[in-house]
C-alpha cells in the first residue's frame, strides 16, 4: 500500500502526501542523504529501493535539479512489478509540471502542488490496498464485506463459491476486498489468496 509520497530538493521536503502513517519528516531527512549519496555512486542508476524497518522506500533521484521522489510503501509491495512504474510515472508528471520552475530556481506554489495531489490520488486508486477476508464457511465473511460496502444483506445464507472481489471507498482511500469461499474443499487455496494482502480479516 502506498503510504506516503515525498519530494525533496536536496534534503528539504518541498512536497508530501500521506495515505497512512509511516515515516516522520526527520526519518525522511536522514535517509535522503543516503539516497542522494548512493545515486551519485551508481553513475546514472538513480531509481531503487531499500527496506527501512517495516516499510519499503522506493526512490528516484534527478541529480541535475537535486530532486528526490520517495514512495513509502509496505514491505509486501512489489517494487519491480508495480511501484517502480508508478514512481516513474509520477516523476514524469512532476517534471512536466515544474521543470521550468526548477531550472529558474523558482518556488513551486501551493496551487501547483494541488495538481500533484489529484495525480497522486489517482495513482493511489490504481494501487488499491488488498484486504483478504478468510474464514470457515458460514461465519459471516460476505456479510462483513456487504456491511463495509453498505450493501443489502440477504436474509438467507448463500455460500460464496470460489471468491468475490469488491472495490470500496473509505474517505479518500480505495481498497480491494477479497471475499473467499470458506468450504473445506477451498481451504487449500487460502494461502494463495492472502498472498500480497495488506491486511487479512
Q: DSSP characters for 73-113?
A: EETTS-IIIIIHHHHHHHHHHHHHHHHHHHHTTPPPPHHHH
Let me know whether 166 and 192 are in one domain: yes
Task: Point out the domain boundary residue: 126, 160, 189.
Answer: 126
Let me know whether 95 and 190 are in one domain: no
Let me know whether 81 and 143 are in one domain: no
Name 13's bridge partners: 8
Q: Which domain holds residue 88?
A: 4-126
Let me know whether 10 and 90 are in one domain: yes
Reported in sequence order, the residue ranges of 127-193 that DSSP labels E, i.e. its strands, are 130-133, 163-170, 173-180
Let me know whether 151 and 111 are in one domain: no
In this structure, what CATH number is given to the domain that contains residue 43?
Answer: 3.30.450.50
Let me know whether 57 and 155 are in one domain: no
pLDDT value of residue 18: 92
Domain count, the chain: 2
Of 48, 77, 194, 37, nearest in space to 131 by CA? 194
Let me know whether 109 and 134 are in one domain: no
Neighbours of 102 (CB within 10 A): 18
In this structure, what CATH number is given to the domain that contains residue 191?
Answer: 3.40.50.300
Let me know whether 76 and 100 are in one domain: yes
Q: Who has greater pLDDT, 131 or 42? A: 131
The tens digit of pLDDT for each residue in 149-190 reads 888 887 888 888 777 888 888 777 778 888 888 888 877 777
Report the pLDDT averaged over residues 47-75. Answer: 91
pTM of the model: 0.73
Let me know whether 15 and 85 are in one domain: yes
Task: Point out the domain boundary residue: 126, 154, 176.
Answer: 126
SS3 call for 181: coil
Does the pLDDT at position 60 exceed 90?
yes
- Which contacts (CB < 8 Å, 24+ apart) does range 172-176 have? 172/121, 173/19, 173/124, 173/129, 174/124, 174/125, 174/128, 175/128, 175/129, 175/130, 175/131, 176/128, 176/129, 176/130, 176/131
Report the pLDDT averaged over residues 35-49. Answer: 80
Task: Point out the domain boundary residue: 126, 160, 178.
Answer: 126
Let me know whether 15 and 81 are in one domain: yes
pLDDT value of residue 87: 95
The tens digit of pLDDT for each residue in 74-92 reads 887 889 988 999 999 999 9
Let me know whether 99 and 41 are in one domain: yes
Q: How confident is the model at residue 61 (pLDDT cuts 50, 70, 90)?
A: very high
Q: How confident is the model at residue 135 (pLDDT cuts 50, 70, 90)?
A: confident
Amino acid at each position: 500500500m502506498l503510504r506516503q509520497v515525498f519530494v525533496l530538493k536536496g534534503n528539504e521536503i518541498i512536497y508530501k502526501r500521506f495515505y497512512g502513517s509511516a515515516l516522520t519528516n526527520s526519518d525522511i531527512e536522514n535517509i535522503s542523504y543516503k539516497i542522494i549519496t548512493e545515486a551519485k555512486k551508481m553513475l546514472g542508476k538513480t531509481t531503487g529501493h531499500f527496506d527501512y524497518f517495516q516499510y519499503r522506500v522506493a526512490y528516484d533521484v534527478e541529480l541535475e535539479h537535486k530532486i528526490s521522489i520517495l514512495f513509502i510503501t509496505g514491505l509486501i509491495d512489489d517494487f519491480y512489478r508495480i511501484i517502480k512504474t508508478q514512481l516513474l510515472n509520477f516523476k514524469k508528471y512532476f517534471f512536466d509540471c515544474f521543470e521550468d520552475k526548477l531550472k529558474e530556481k523558482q518556488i513551486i506554489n501551493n496551487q501547483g502542488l494541488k495538481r500533484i495531489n489529484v495525480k497522486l490520488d489517482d495513482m493511489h486508486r490504481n494501487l488499491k490496498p488488498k484486504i483478504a477476508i478468510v474464514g470457515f464457511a458460514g461465519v459471516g465473511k460476505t456479510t462483513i464485506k456487504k456491511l463495509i460496502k453498505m450493501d443489502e444483506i440477504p436474509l438467507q445464507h448463500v455460500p460464496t463459491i470460489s471468491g468475490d472481489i469488491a472495490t470500496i471507498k473509505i474517505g479518500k482511500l480505495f481498497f480491494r476486498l477479497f471475499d473467499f469461499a470458506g468450504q473445506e474443499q477451498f481451504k487449500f487455496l487460502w494461502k494463495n489468496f492472502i498472498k500480497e494482502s495488506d491486511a487479512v480479516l
